[in-house]
Amino acid sequence: MSGVRRGPGCRSGTPLEVFPVAGIGEVREGDDVGELIAEAAPYLRDGDILVVTSKIASKAEGRVRRDVGRGEAIAAETTRIVARRGETVIAQTAHGFVMAAAGVDASNTEPGTVVLLPVDPDASASAVRARVRERLGVSVGVILSDTFGRPWRNGQTDMAVGVAGVTPVLDYRGMADDHGNALEVTVTAVADEFAAAGDLVKGKLARTPVAVIRGAAEYTTEADGPGVGELVRRSEDDMFRYGSRDVLFARRTVREFSAEPVDGDTVRRAVEAAIAAPAPHHTTPWRFVLLESPEARRRLLDAMREAWIADLRGDGFAAESIARRVRRGDVLRAAPYLAVPCLVAEGSHTYRDDRRNAAEREMFVVAAGAGVQNLLVQLAVEGLGSAWVSSTMFCRDVVREVLDLPPDWDPMGAVAIGHPAAPPRDRAPRKAADFIVTR
């Protein structure tokens, strides 16, 4: 985290005062929130921290929408749906916040209106801070707060959505506790703690949108500071990024990989997900060959390349066309790890006619595809990129020979696995209605 201030923070036993600012009244578009606070709280001192309900900044900045359905407003403010259950939507906003309804609120606003978060909450906090300094000659910190639910905990609490002049987090990593134990992961969200403390005296129904925290001047800064971005976890560090709504959409075809090695245990966890797929007749038709050594990958890909070229020559393709087609397999060579999913149709039924035997085979192929899909999705959840390539299906005998597989193992393509070298391209938009027929 850039700009993170290290401990030790507030001295043990230092008293804090938290009290509301009365008399601000209803805020409307065009109002100056800093001016309103300065008029209502002329007693502010250097080092005080203002906790300001973000809603009044939104109202002053014209972030109120009238005659717009709440669902429509949520959709407009959403960059990613994390989870949905009934009418409840957990969404990510353009700010990076993950919160209910993308921060769209229909409380404490006129009927028929909804309030959106400020476009730039840090800038809103900075403007309040500057106005208070101009009017009262004091340097205060400002935190814009809003209400968040929390995973794994019932109830809601206020958290910071905008920060100016306050240290957002304290980083204790590398320090030692009283017993000499090294602190390895302790990063305290100071701004969130102040936001929650301010909410205790503001209340939800008291119409007092501003609180003052006094006695924590050491957490304030001369400059506005790094802002709320220090509190927003980067997507690559988020172990719980994919919610129930978008976990399937996490799977993307990745064709460019970094040189970072792949942890085989991670792939094995993905295989555990793969073998949870449905299968006919209570069978387990999946097998996965994991090519972890560069030599094994090279031998397989070289043999497949020769078989492919021979087939293309037999089909009468020109040398230039063959070279172009063979290059499509480069994604497998670029990957630091390969997996070859195989179908084993043990337990399949044999019938008297070809029609039913063909259907039996198709059932097992579908089960193999479900296993591959589970594998790809779990790899994405684990932070790995992948690309399923069908090439092994065109030279199954060659693959079985090179990998020394039993004759009843049926290679069903190959999966290139690695850490993405770049973000995947946007998926082409598709509407479910285009793929549905209702009878």
pLDDT digit string, tens, across residues 133-175 = 999 999 999 999 999 998 888 999 999 999 999 999 987 756 6
Please tell me which of 19-23, 150-154, 230-234 the model is most confident about, judged by mean pLDDT. 19-23
DSSP state of 310: H
Is it true that the peptide bond before 42 is cis, omega within 30 degrees of 0?
Answer: no
- Do 65 and 73 touch, CB atoms closer than 8 A? yes
CA distance 283 to 278: 9
Average pLDDT over residues 349-370: 95
User: What beta strand segments (E) does 46-150 contain?
Assistant: 49-53, 64-66, 78-85, 88-93, 98-100, 113-115, 141-150
Q: Please give the CATH number for the structural domain made up of 5-237.
A: 3.30.1330.100
Angle between helices 294-314 and 396-403 (to 10 degrees): 160
pLDDT value of position 68? 84
pLDDT value of position 205? 64
Give Cα 294 distance to the centre of its chain.
Answer: 32
List the helix and strand counts (H, then E) for the chain.
11, 18
pLDDT surpasses 60 at 6: no
Structure tokens at 393: 């299906």
pLDDT value of position 13? 59
pLDDT value of position 1? 40
Q: Does the predicted TM-score (pTM) go above 0.95?
A: no
pLDDT value of position 2? 42
- Do 415 and 341 touch, CB atoms closer than 8 A? yes
pLDDT surpasses 80 at 102: yes
CA distance 98 to 325: 44
List of residues 6+ apart from 25 with CB closer than 8 A: 36
List of residues 6+ apart from 399 with CB closer than 8 A: 300, 303, 304, 340, 392, 405, 411
Low-confidence winner among 43-57, 69-83, 210-224 (lowest mean pLDDT) = 69-83
CA distance 277 to 136: 66
Low-confidence winner among 108-117, 243-252, 296-305, 319-328 (lowest mean pLDDT) = 243-252
CA distance 55 to 105: 9
Backbone angles phi and psi of 311, in degrees to 5: -65, -45
Q: Where in the chain is the domain with CATH 3.30.1330.100?
A: 5-237
Structure tokens at 92: 């990510």
Structure tokens at 169: 């987090």
pLDDT value of position 146? 96
pLDDT value of position 327? 82
pLDDT value of position 428? 84
- Do 7 and 171 touch, CB atoms closer than 8 A? yes
Residues facing 410 on adjacent strands:
343
CA distance 115 to 62: 9
pLDDT surpasses 70 at 194: yes
Average pLDDT over residues 45-56: 97
Q: What is the mean pLDDT of the chain?
A: 90
CA distance 371 to 380: 14
Look at strands 187-188 and 170-171 and give their pairing: antiparallel
- Do 413 and 389 touch, CB atoms closer than 8 A? yes
* Percent of the chain scoring above 70 in pLDDT: 93
pLDDT surpasses 90 at 246: no
* Percent of the chain scoring above 90 in pLDDT: 73
Report, in angstroms and rounded to the nearest whole number, the Rg of the chain calculated over CA atoms: 29
- Do 114 and 68 touch, CB atoms closer than 8 A? yes
CA distance 355 to 350: 11
Low-confidence winner among 1-10, 286-295, 414-423 (lowest mean pLDDT) = 1-10
Helix or strand holding residue 337 (H, E)? strand 337-343
Q: Please give the CATH number for the structural domain made up of 248-435.
A: 3.40.109.10
pLDDT value of position 236? 75
Average pLDDT over residues 275-287: 96
Average pLDDT over residues 121-133: 98
Q: Where in the chain is the domain with CATH 3.40.109.10?
A: 248-435
